Amino acid sequence: MNNQKFFTVLIVLIMNLGPFFAFGQDNLPRLMYPNDQFTNSTNDTLFILSYGDFRKTLIKLNEAEVNQLRVDLLKQKVQALEDKTFLADSICQLRKMESDFWKMKLDETDKLLEASSKEKVELQYENERIRRSRVYYMTGGLIGGILITTLLVIGTN
């Protein structure tokens, strides 16, 4: 493709700059028609293209440039999609890290609540045990007091 561009530029330069370097009438660019005769009066190599071939070459070069522009545009789109994918992956990673953080905090809170709940149950059990023991001691004291009072009353009679 670069060779095609080079030759096209070369042909255009030869056609446009030819008159500046011409020393004779034969060196000027001109159109040749079928059955025209031409003699090369210089030692240079001349390339003769038909007008149709020249147009086809220009069309193909234009198509190649357009295709290259399309390829470049598609490369840019692919790069943009890769960037978006990278950003989306980064966002997903950040959200995952955030959710892991909050899950860890919730687990810690659950452990604290469970520990406080166990402690509360143990305290309730301890309070109930103490209350029962007070009732037993009070009942025992009352029964003992009644017995002692009864024995003292019976013993004095």
Per-residue pLDDT in tens (0 to 9) along the chain, 157 residues: 567 777 777 776 676 665 555 554 555 556 667 777 777 777 777 777 777 888 888 899 999 999 999 999 999 999 999 999 999 899 999 999 999 999 999 999 999 999 999 999 999 999 888 888 887 888 888 888 898 888 888 877 6
The reported pLDDT for the residue numbered 15 is 67
Q: What are the DSSP calls for 14-72, one per residue?
A: HHHHHHHH--SGGGS-----TT------SSS------HHHHHHHHHHHHHHHHHHHHHH
For residue 99, being part of any structural domain is answered with: yes
For residue 98, being part of any structural domain is answered with: yes
For residue 5, being part of any structural domain is answered with: no
The reported pLDDT for the residue numbered 140 is 85
Decide: 34 and 50 in contact? Cβ < 8 Å.
no
Residue 101 domain boundaries: 70-157
Q: How many structural domains compose the chain?
A: 1
The reported pLDDT for the residue numbered 17 is 61
How far is Cα 127 from Cα 121, in angstroms, rounded to an integer?
10
The reported pLDDT for the residue numbered 30 is 63
For residue 28, being part of any structural domain is answered with: no
User: What predicted TM-score, i.e. pTM, was given to this entire model?
Assistant: 0.38
For residue 27, being part of any structural domain is answered with: no
For residue 31, being part of any structural domain is answered with: no
For residue 113, being part of any structural domain is answered with: yes
For residue 141, being part of any structural domain is answered with: yes
The reported pLDDT for the residue numbered 48 is 73
Decide: 4 and 61 in contact? Cβ < 8 Å.
yes
